[in-house]
Structure 1
Amino acid sequence: MQVNIGRLRGGYCVYWDEKPSGKRKRYQLKARTRAEAESEGRDRYLKESQPTNGLTVARIWETYIYHLGTKPTAKTMGWTGKAVLLHFGELRPDQITVDDCRGYLRQRLAAGRKIGSAHTELGHLRSALKWAGKTNLIDRVPFIELPPKPDSDVRPLTDTQIVRIIDNCLAPHIRLAVILLLTTGGRVGSILDRTWDKMDFERGVIDLRKSDGVTRKGRAVVPMNRMARAALQTAYDSRQTNWVVEYNGKPIKSMKTGYYAALRRANMVGVNIHQIRHTVAVKMLSAGQPIEAVSQYLGHSNTAITYKTYARYMPEHLADAAEILNIDRFSELARTSQKTAK
């Protein structure tokens, strides 16, 4: 729901349109400044919109999205809420049980959705209710059981595949974006919103961080390797705007059309853009880079995230541990058996 601050009788007011009736609610505020009005307006909205029999999940969900503002999660929850609220929307938080969570999972799987999607949807429900608890909108936060998050089945790209993708990026801005994805390990958003002041040619670093910090995903400052420098220098020499990735004198919001066109030309349909970031991590780990370094490169907030996602791609670090379990006499028997078999 959109909650707005306006002017009324020389002061400030808060107003919003009730759903589904569309009836407008408006209340005079005591605030003397815009900042005070924003704060008081939120409190008034929460007070006036709370049902007499307690807040429902639907109302909490709506209010939490309003609280998130322009954060990417707010937009995502607009989509996940379509399924979550059909199942939980009319319930109060204190009515939710583990059986409800399991029933939701069964329902989503029966509808053909993947377990990862259900994990995300229930995770958003958990986040909204935790926020409601922290802000004292509810007395007790119910336990929301999440299904186990499935391991990623995304395979890293080979060097040959990488070359094919780049060679088939005919548009210069798409080619540049793909090269930056491959050399920085950044997410698409962190590449497309970069300006030239974030590219330090003198120090040889690329800053993927957002100056305002409005992102739930980690971003890093990474070295500018030779491949990235060459592509960036070419783009810099012909730049028309302050945006690193630009098309027709404007920044771009999405590279999907150009990227998937390149995949079709390369006969590699089905390679997700995020697979590039996955490839970066696996290539570094396979080359023996410490997982701490890889974690920092990817902008992870802690190494636990990196371990959970990528440890299965570094089985060689268990070789010494496996060697400890050897018993010499049986090892000799194994070697003798191998010779006899030959």
Structure 2
Amino acid sequence: MPDLTIGRLRGGFCVSWKDDTTGKRRRHQLAARSRKDAEREAIDVYRHHTFDPGDTTIDGLLRVYRDSLDGKPSGKTLGYLMPALCGHFGHLRPDQVTRDHCADYGAARERAGRSPGTVHTELGYLRSAMRYAEKCRLIDRAPHIWRPSKPIPKERFLDRNEIPKLIDACAAPHIRLAVVLLLGTAARVGAILDLEWSRVDLERGQINLRLDDATTRKGRAIVPMNGMTRAALQTARDAALSDYVVEYGGERVRSIRNGFSAACRRAGLEGVTLHTLRHTAAVHMAEAGIPLSKISQYLGHSNSAITEKVYSRFAPSHMQDAADVLDFTKPRKVR
């Protein structure tokens, strides 16, 4: 991305940048009425005015979209997917993409060992790139990107006998700490590995899983500590050598996948992934009768309908009142 400058013009905002061809600065009025909106709009305006109209291939549009995600985890992920997506779709224009192209891509990726869920996600990035190109007016219309059905979420969760086995099987302190926090906060592993001490308030008993720069698309919550997480955090705080809560040798930990897998083997647990811990936490809250709206907030879901769809079946009283209305063997109360 170039050095874009946001300024004022005719009572509103404008964006300017240096034209690589002429060496002069170009300036355009923005519709945004706030600085934050202007910063977002400026990127779209720049893309619209500098994009080579002759490069409207999927390859070129994917690269534009990747650049727009610079600094975000999703941009890094797209970078990993670019070889596969561009290898299959790159030479095509958006208007040439058909359902058969997408289905062939999915079949090829599954032959390469990718799961249907992974294929669904990869084609989702392609869909987002095309919609971004339409929004920036780089193309007239985004094509329909067919995707295989999203797999049904895995049902595996840990029961109350399995949880202490897993925790006890964590050999390294940083793996044990991460597992305790994953279970106690219902957070995704990325949120736990991103957590810094500046967002842990031991005095108020609060853990802020949110990033100030909001670089992740996944929702994160601010959750209270319980006895288990407080004890683990207090022990870790006393021995902390870095700004990050989960550390090893004074350095930030980027992944706990290997240590976690080893702990599962020692505990004799099968079919357990890191995401299983988030699912476990939500299931236990639902089974305990915690309102689904509150579970949704705890999980950081932007829409409580997501929580209801996945976890209502674990809540014994969620629809009991509705079922009671349909019990026609009991006399109905007259109001």
TM-score by length of 2: 0.81
Give the CA deviation at 1:264.
2.5
Give the CA deviation at 1:58.
1.1
CA contact (8 A) 2:45 2:136 kept: no
SS class of match (2:161):
helix
SS class of match (1:82):
helix
Give the CA deviation at 1:325.
3.5
* Corresponding residue number in structure 2 for 1:136: 137
Give the CA deviation at 1:98.
3.3
Gaps (5+ residues) in structure 1? Answer: 6-11, 15-25, 330-342
Pick closer, same or farther for the CA change 1:144–1:41 going to 2, 3 Å.
closer
The one-letter code sitting in structure 2 at the alignment partner of 1:30 is K
Q: Tell me, yes or no, if structure 1 residue 224 matches structure 2 residue 232.
A: no
Give the CA deviation at 1:103.
4.1
CA contact (8 A) 1:186 1:219 kept: yes
Give the CA deviation at 1:194.
1.8
* Corresponding residue number in structure 1 for 2:246: 245
The one-letter code sitting in structure 1 at the alignment partner of 2:266 is R
Cα distance in 2, alignment partners of residues 145 and 32 from structure 1: 39
Query: Which stretch shifts more, 269-278 or 205-214?
Result: 269-278
Pick closer, same or farther for the CA change 1:189–1:119 going to 2, 3 Å.
same
Cα distance in 2, alignment partners of residues 129 and 48 from structure 1: 14
Give the CA deviation at 1:188.
1.4
Cα distance in 2, alignment partners of residues 326 and 228 from structure 1: 43
The one-letter code sitting in structure 2 at the alignment partner of 1:137 is L
Q: Tell me, yes or no, if structure 1 residue 202 matches structure 2 residue 211.
A: no
CA contact (8 A) 1:29 1:40 kept: no
Cα distance in 1, alignment partners of residues 51 and 193 from structure 2: 41
Cα distance in 1, alignment partners of residues 241 and 80 from structure 2: 36
Query: Which stretch shifts more, 197-206 or 89-98?
Result: 89-98
Cα distance in 2, alignment partners of residues 29 and 44 from structure 1: 18
Pick closer, same or farther for the CA change 1:88–1:104 going to 2, 3 Å.
same
SS class of match (1:258):
helix
CA contact (8 A) 2:156 2:271 kept: no
* Corresponding residue number in structure 1 for 2:182: 181
* Corresponding residue number in structure 2 for 1:260: 261
CA contact (8 A) 1:156 1:278 kept: yes
CA contact (8 A) 2:237 2:245 kept: yes
RMSD between aligned residues: 3.0
Pick closer, same or farther for the CA change 1:172–1:44 going to 2, 3 Å.
closer
Query: Which stretch shifts more, 279-288 or 94-103?
Result: 94-103
TM-score by length of 1: 0.79
Cα distance in 2, alignment partners of residues 114 and 318 from structure 1: 34
Pick closer, same or farther for the CA change 1:32–1:85 going to 2, 3 Å.
closer
Give the CA deviation at 1:314.
3.1
SS class of match (1:317):
coil
CA contact (8 A) 1:207 1:220 kept: yes
Greater helix fraction, Structure 1 or Structure 2: 1
Pick closer, same or farther for the CA change 1:161–1:325 going to 2, 3 Å.
same
The one-letter code sitting in structure 1 at the alignment partner of 2:202 is F
* Corresponding residue number in structure 2 for 1:30: 24
Give the CA deviation at 1:270.
4.1
The one-letter code sitting in structure 1 at the alignment partner of 2:241 is Q
Q: Tell me, yes or no, if structure 1 residue 285 matches structure 2 residue 286.
A: yes
CA contact (8 A) 1:260 1:269 kept: no
The one-letter code sitting in structure 2 at the alignment partner of 1:135 is C
* Corresponding residue number in structure 2 for 1:308: 309
Gaps (5+ residues) in structure 2? Answer: 4-16, 28-38, 331-335
CA contact (8 A) 1:13 1:41 kept: no
SS class of match (2:133):
helix
* Corresponding residue number in structure 2 for 1:19: none
Give the CA deviation at 1:31.
3.6
Structure number with bigger Rg:
1
Pick closer, same or farther for the CA change 1:312–1:61 going to 2, 3 Å.
farther
Pick closer, same or farther for the CA change 1:48–1:216 going to 2, 3 Å.
closer
Give the CA deviation at 1:83.
3.0
Pick closer, same or farther for the CA change 1:161–1:29 going to 2, 3 Å.
farther
What's the % identity of the aligned pairs?
A: 48
Q: Tell me, yes or no, if structure 1 residue 151 matches structure 2 residue 145.
A: no
Cα distance in 1, alignment partners of residues 84 and 43 from structure 2: 32
Query: Which stretch shifts more, 42-51 or 239-248?
Result: 42-51
The one-letter code sitting in structure 2 at the alignment partner of 1:123 is G
Cα distance in 2, alignment partners of residues 324 and 41 from structure 1: 54
Pick closer, same or farther for the CA change 1:13–1:114 going to 2, 3 Å.
same
1:268-297: CA deviations, max 9, x gaps? 254211110110111101111111100100
* Corresponding residue number in structure 2 for 1:164: 165
1:143-201: CA deviations, max 9, x gaps? 22333212112411112211111111122222111111111111112112222221112
Query: Which stretch shifts more, 249-258 or 311-320?
Result: 311-320
CA contact (8 A) 2:286 2:315 kept: yes
CA contact (8 A) 2:66 2:75 kept: yes
